[in-house]
Amino acid sequence: MKIYMTIDEKGLPSGFYPTNVHDIPPKGAIEITKKEWEFALNRPGRVRWDGKNSKMVEFDPDEICSIEELKNKLLLQAKTKRKNIIKEGIKIINKDGDKNFLLKIDDQTKTNIEGYIDLYESGIKDKGLAVKWKFKNCWQNLTYNNFIEIKKIIFAFIEAAFKAEASHTVEIKKIKTYSEYIKYNIHTGWPDNSYKVKTL
């Protein structure tokens, strides 16, 4: 049995044609060994045909992307990173440092906090009375001052996350070579999600 392979303009395999299945391989198909066939099948998307040396080689898929494509990958990673750290929420530490309260950050949480603040400030709810609030890890009584401080923390954290993404965007757009791309660290410069409060 002989095995033939077709490749695209980047040298990536686009089809395999063993003669026990295909009597006549497509025009321009390259004959490869069974070992090369298995090598390619076991590394989908990570092998290409080295026409200069007439052999199958493993490679980093990023190597055949344009610099603009690589920069777009990093920009997407920065955007995803920002979304994920906000989604993970924040850890609020009480003033004594012996308790942690895990708070998720989503639209419902922000709406509820704003709602309680409105109730307090409109006089509907006495500012001296606490509300039983459910954190991710426990229940805790929160007062008007607690809600005000937590609201400031949430928006400071979100602003810091967007600022970090913006900084990465500026640096990523400066990349001009593949070497600069592989050295770029997308995981630096993001805000810490731990905040110590004064009112708990």
Residues 139 and 130: beta-carbon distance below 8 Å: no
Average pLDDT over residues 79-83: 97
Where is 134: in which H helix or E strand? strand 131-134
Answer yes or no: pTM beyond 0.85. Answer: no
Considering only CA atoms, which of 16, 4, 13 is closest in space to residue 50? 13
d(CA 41, CA 118): 62
Instruction: Answer yes or no: is pLDDT of 139 > 90.
Output: yes
Note the pLDDT of residue 8. Answer: 85
Note the pLDDT of residue 79. Answer: 97
Mean pLDDT lowest among 7-11, 12-16, 74-78, 180-184: 7-11
d(CA 199, CA 183): 43
Q: State the pairing for strand pair 194-196/90-93.
A: parallel
More confident residue, 70 or 10: 70
Q: Pinpoint the alpha helices (H) of the chain.
A: 34-41, 67-88, 107-121, 144-172, 178-183
Q: Tell me the pLDDT band of 169, cut-offs 50, 70 and 90.
A: very high
Instruction: Answer yes or no: is pLDDT of 119 > 80.
Output: yes
Note the pLDDT of residue 198. Answer: 86
